[in-house]
Amino acid sequence: MGKHAVRFVAHRGWSRRFPENSLPSLTAAVCVGADEIEFDLRLSKDGIPFLCHDHEVDRVSTLSGPASSFTMSELEKADIRMPDGTILEGLGFARVDQVFQLFGGRVGMNIHIKDSDKTEEIVGYLISRCGIDEYPNVYIAGDVNALEIALKSYPQIPRCCLAGGIKDPEVLVDNAIRYKCVRLQFWSTTYTKAAVQRALEAGLLPNLFYADDLESAQQAVDYGIVGLLTNDIGFIKRNLKLEERA
């Protein structure tokens, strides 16, 4: 079992300081040295993948209703909420095309497919319009449904398993192996050192969702986590002391 350098993954960008899943959040994360950016994708009413975590857009914008009920033109003009609730007028939701134009080839990408029943359409778009298969260290993450669809239709795109790990990290490892993933993502409240070591021995790269304080981040590194997700990338990147891994 080889050792891997820790990779700092900005969860929804630098989401503690900037609007989550926004271009400013992702840009700030890249500027402070994130190795990877993590973001969520849903499909607009007119079939364009855009960055949004929730099923509804109310929490992060002044729009109201399901994300899929708006066209991309409407979403791009939306007013977006800062983490403190203040409004950025006209910032808009980001199209996935914009993310690849800005960061493709510059930083790794952990792409969480939220509309898992639309995985075929979303990944097809990522291939045809964004050239996802041309960039190293870019992978999709999802639940059982997303993994099944992606493995069947787009087996060449690297996958990260999110299926089953909230309650049982061993089930997460089982599913990662079953769906031929290259990565898996443990939950900070349930993961164990034994499960992380088992994943490494199976040739999987383990991520952790997530660590925003130094004690939790240090434990993750000590357990063997490779991809360390955090909402506060600037703070964690600057202050976490790492020993060089072979």
What span, in angstroms and rounded, lies between the C-alpha atoms of 3 and 246? 6
Q: pLDDT tens, 122-170?
A: 999 999 999 999 999 999 999 999 999 999 999 999 999 999 978 899 9
- Token digits of residue 91: 């910032």
Residue 116 lies in a domain: yes
Q: What is the CATH number of the domain that holds 207?
A: 3.20.20.190
Phi and psi angles of residue 161, each rounded to the nearest 5 degrees, phi first = -85, 125
Gyration radius (Cα) of the chain, Å: 17
What span, in angstroms and rounded, lies between the C-alpha atoms of 83 and 117? 29
Percent of the chain with pLDDT over 90: 94
Residue 44 lies in a domain: yes
Query: Does 229 score more than 60 pLDDT?
Result: yes
pLDDT of residue 50: 99
Contact by Cβ (8 Å): 51, 21: yes
Residue 225 lies in a domain: yes
pLDDT of residue 2: 54
Contact by Cβ (8 Å): 125, 133: no
**Residue 173 lies in domain:** 7-50+96-239
Residue 64 lies in a domain: no
pLDDT of residue 150: 98
Per the prediction, the chain carries an average pLDDT of 96
* Pairing assessment for the beta strands 7-11 and 36-43 based on DSSP bridges: parallel
Query: Does 203 score more than 60 pLDDT?
Result: yes
pLDDT of residue 3: 75
Phi and psi angles of residue 9, each rounded to the nearest 5 degrees, phi first = -115, 120
Give the chain's domain count: 1
Residue 11 lies in a domain: yes
Confidence grade of residue 245 (pLDDT, cut at 50, 70, 90): very low
Residue 245 lies in a domain: no
